[in-house]
Chains A and B, each alone.
Chain A
Amino acid sequence: MSHKVIIPIGPYHPLQEEPEFFRLYIEGERVIDIDIVIGYNHRGIEELSEHKHFDQVAYLVERICGICSTSHPFAYVNAIEDLAHIQVPERALYIRTIIAEMERIHSHLLWLGLAGHFIGYNTVWMWAWRYREPILDCFEMITGNRNHYAMMKPGGVRRDILEEHISPLKKTLDELNKATDMFYGAVVDDPVIKARLKGIGILTKEQARNWCVVGPTARASGIDIDVRRDDPYGAYDRVDFNVIVEKEGDIFAKTLVRIKELYESIRIIRQCLDKMPKGEIETKIKEIPAGEGIGRVEAPRGECFHYVRSDGTNRPIRHKIRAPSYMNVASNKIAAVGGTISDAAITLAAVDPCYCCTERCSVIRKKDNQKLLTGWDLIKLSQEKTEKLKKEMGL
């Protein structure tokens, strides 16, 4: 005899890097319904944006997310440039494109690692994140930051890509190309990954259209959309790349789309580095007229949409932001229902819900002799701290 059981996942759960609450209704092993409760991360960015001037908003929207942190400012500057009919210098368009594609690489590798972790295949997780690291190093070299690169500004970019950055970046891309061969082989040939991902969490083409999903989630269900090709921005109309589409709609197809997109991103960056002309990197903007503008960017997770309305003052009167996960997460209702409870974690993660927080381990040095602290030193420090706290609390 079966009866209905409710299994809560979240709001704070070790498998989720962000607070979200899924209420799974289970009968036996099957998920028969799901409630998705969000809002734990709501920070009122749209309201905040109405109180910042146009230049400051780029910094604000960069902080919506730590992973696709350049997609939001990129979409925002596209909206402003649409609103005020601004022409951006050619070199800035190429630089924007390079940064956006580097972001796609690190984001897809991050997802691949997490997907491996979710299905209990931690080797994939470690390898994927090992190859994500050099890309973050390249970000640090070019922009000064590993996340939140602060490159986009209305009218152009804030920093140039210098001559000396180009060869280390190309070298990293060469290594990454080899690593992607390895990932591709590991996913396509591995029987465990196939067994866990094939035919799981299917979103059919019709469902994908009704739920208006975007990005790799849509492309894995046979919907051939990509803002980079369809509504070109940056330098995407000046480079050659393929839009990866798979038909199956299962998690395996979503994985394939993302891995194949790594190759395309590498190709795009290489072309940009070769074609990038010399010259100015920004157009000075005196004022933003009254009007409205829509900017879109193909973020790693899909179409990122910004609408800005100005009344001629120095602040937006309305700034609407729609991240790709907004459309994709809602479709989990379809993809997870009917599957088993053991597949729920990977199914819910397959749309690559956007993880807002990024962590980074810093190098700790002793002041006196510049020696790195060992793991054991850190444990000792932590034990000392616990002892101190215990004493203070009288335990």
Chain B
Amino acid sequence: MNIEEKIRENLKEKIIDGYRYSQRRYYFSVKSSDIVEVARFLFNELNLRFSTATAVDTPKGIEILYHFSFDKTGEIFSIKVLIEDKKNPQIDSLTSVFPAVEWIEREIWELFGVSFLGHPNLKHLLLHEDWPKDKHPLRKHND
């Protein structure tokens, strides 16, 4: 069973949508409340490597893509979550699963204003500590 089948099989109740975009690129949508469990399965059970996370400000809410890489086949599995509450966006931190996510969560927190619940050290990474609390540079400015 390849990784795509394992993900579909083991996470079938959690996957809202999933598709293969190109030869080695897969995208799966899950609920934001399920992210810790999904990440734990991918990192611990399937031994995927966490590459990085991308946040995108969309009209529907803030989308976060967690990119996991399976280096034996060169495939990337991007797990998408949508946080609909743009006023006070929050999601569980993945720092309890792997420490490598610490910096990128700090970055998304300061650039998009997403709070990561359970993050041990949620402070500025790239911006100065005096940066205004309500200004998030990568939010789109049309809403």
Contacts and interface: CB of A to CB of B under 8 A. Distances in A.
B138 A322 contact: no
A213 B52 CA distance: 11
Contact of B103 (A213, A305, A326): A326
A260 B119 CA distance: 39
Contact of A307 (B24, B67, B69, B127): B67
B25 interface: yes
B22 A85 contact: yes
B74 A210 contact: no
A209 interface: yes
Nearest to B65: A307
Contact of B127 (A42, A211, A227, A293): A42
Residue of A42, A82, A318 ringed by the most chain B CB atoms within 10 A: A318
A294 interface: yes
Given A44-B137, A46-B138, A294-B78, A307 B125 contact: no
A330 interface: yes
A227 B21 CA distance: 19
A327 B138 contact: no
B10 to A, nearest CB: 21
Of A85, A291, A327, most B-chain CB atoms within 10 Å: A327
A210 B100 contact: yes
B126 interface: yes
Contacts of A44: 137
B3 to A, nearest CB: 13
B68 to A, nearest CB: 10
B33 interface: no
Contact of B51 (A38, A46, A292, A305): A305
Interface of B: 21-22, 24-25, 27, 49-52, 54, 56, 65, 67, 69, 71-76, 78, 98-100, 102-104, 124-128, 137-138
Interface of A: 38-39, 42, 44, 46-47, 82, 85, 209-213, 224-225, 227, 230-232, 291-294, 296, 303, 305, 307, 309, 317-318, 320, 322, 326-327, 330
The 9 tightest CB contacts between A and B, nearest first, are A231-B74, A212-B100, A320-B54, A322-B52, A230-B74, A42-B126, A39-B126, A225-B71, A318-B56
